């Protein structure tokens, strides 16, 4: 992502005011890729360009993390010829470097992380890490505790046996039933397949939690917020 050089400098050196950053640039103290730049408005990409102040190289927090409240109807992909993708919801993001961590179905909404940090994504999706993913699902008809009980032991979906899941029946939604279901895996259509297995059908699905990370209050579908690496890892792996 590109920033004005003066703005970027205040991000990289937290003690600098905007005015001080402008002065430093105009005074020839700032180099981009070794070349003095005196225009504070010069668009600069800290991920691909090296910035230095008074000969000292400034380090940029290379990885960024976005928590998106994915709306239904948007693809969990980096680009698509026809459909809007989750990356299209974050203006200015580099479609070559950023990606969603795992996928939510086209009609699923809720918590989706977007990052350029491949190691974190790999870690999070690893079944060994057992990061909980909690979903709110509206299931067709009346769904009872007895029907859901087998999911707590694991059920055979044909191509794999699910790990034990936890559930809580939330409310009646007209003739249907709203439930919270927590799983630790993320196989293709997993929640929909688990609910089909117990004889119902998912009519609406929203991911509400990953580890200790939830959708911030007031973050509407389609909106996102940026998290620091510290906040993200603290919340994700909170027990």
Burial class (CB in 10 A: 0-12, 13-18, 19+), 33: exposed
CA-wise closest residue to 103 among 122, 86, 91? 86
Q: From the list 190, 206, 210, 215, which residue makes contact with ligand URA (rule: CB under 6 A)? A: 190
Task: Select 25 or 181, whichever has its Cβ closest to ligand URA.
Answer: 181
User: Using the rule CB under 6 A, is 205 a contact of ligand URA?
Assistant: yes
Burial class (CB in 10 A: 0-12, 13-18, 19+), 156: exposed
User: Using the rule CB under 6 A, is 189 a contact of ligand URA?
Assistant: yes
Q: From the list 88, 94, 105, 132, which residue makes contact with ligand URA (rule: CB under 6 A)? A: 105
Q: Residue 152 in contact with residue 165, Cβ under 8 Å?
A: yes
User: Using the rule CB under 6 A, is 192 a contact of ligand URA?
Assistant: yes
How near is the Cβ of 129 to ligand URA at its closest, in Å? Answer: 17
Task: Select 30 or 183, whichever has its Cβ closest to ligand URA.
Answer: 183
How near is the Cβ of 230 to ligand URA at its closest, in Å? Answer: 27
User: Using the rule CB under 6 A, is 104 a contact of ligand URA?
Assistant: yes
Q: Residue 203 in contact with residue 176, Cβ under 8 Å?
A: yes
- What backbone torsions phi and psi does residue 83 show, to the nearest 5 degrees? -100, 155
In whole angstroms, give the CA distance from residue 230 to residue 236: 10
Count of residues in contact with ligand URA, rule CB under 6 A: 8
Burial class (CB in 10 A: 0-12, 13-18, 19+), 144: exposed
**Overall size of the chain counted in residues:** 239
Task: Select 50 or 85, whichever has its Cβ closest to ligand URA.
Answer: 85
Judged by CB under 6 A, the chain residues 210 through 239 that form the site for ligand URA are none
Catalytic residue among 23, 88, 105, 123: 105
User: Using the rule CB under 6 A, is 108 a contact of ligand URA?
Assistant: yes
In whole angstroms, give the CA distance from residue 229 to residue 120: 10
User: Using the rule CB under 6 A, is 185 a contact of ligand URA?
Assistant: no
In the annotation, is 105 catalytic? Answer: yes
- Only segment of 39-47, 144-152, 173-181, 185-193 that touches ligand URA (CB under 6 A): 185-193
User: Using the rule CB under 6 A, is 197 a contact of ligand URA?
Assistant: no
Q: Residue 30 in contact with residue 53, Cβ under 8 Å?
A: yes
Q: Residue 181 in contact with residue 151, Cβ under 8 Å?
A: yes
User: Using the rule CB under 6 A, is 111 a contact of ligand URA?
Assistant: no
**Residues known to be catalytic:** 105
Q: Can you give the binding site for ligand URA, defined by CB under 6 A?
A: 104-105, 108, 189-192, 205
């Amino acid at each position: 992502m590109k920033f004005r050089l003066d703005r970027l400098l205040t991000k990289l050196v937290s003690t600098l005011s905007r005015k001080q950053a402008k002065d430093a640039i105009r005074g020839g103290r700032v180099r981009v890729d070794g070349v003095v730049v005196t225009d504070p408005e010069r668009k600069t990409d800290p991920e691909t360009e090296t910035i230095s102040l008074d000969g000292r190289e400034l380090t940029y927090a290379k990885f960024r993390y976005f928590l998106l409240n994915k709306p239904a109807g948007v693809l969990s992909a980096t680009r698509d010829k026809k459909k809007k993708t989750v990356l299209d919801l974050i203006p200015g993001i580099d479609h070559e470097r950023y990606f969603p961590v795992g996928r939510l179905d086209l009609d699923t909404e809720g918590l989706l992380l977007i990052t350029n940090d491949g190691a974190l994504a790999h870690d999070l999706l690893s079944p060994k890490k057992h990061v909980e993913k909690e979903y709110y699902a509206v299931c067709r008809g009346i769904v009872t505790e007895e029907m859901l009980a087998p999911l707590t032991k694991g059920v055979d979906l044909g191509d794999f046996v699910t790990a034990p899941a936890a559930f809580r029946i939330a409310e009646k939604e007209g003739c249907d039933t709203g439930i919270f279901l927590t799983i630790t895996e993320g196989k293709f259509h997993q929640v929909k397949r688990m609910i089909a297995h117990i004889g119902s059908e998912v009519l609406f699905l929203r991911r509400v939690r990953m580890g200790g990370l939830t959708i911030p209050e007031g973050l509407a579908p389609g909106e996102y917020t940026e998290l620091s690496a510290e906040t993200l890892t603290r919340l994700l792996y909170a027990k």
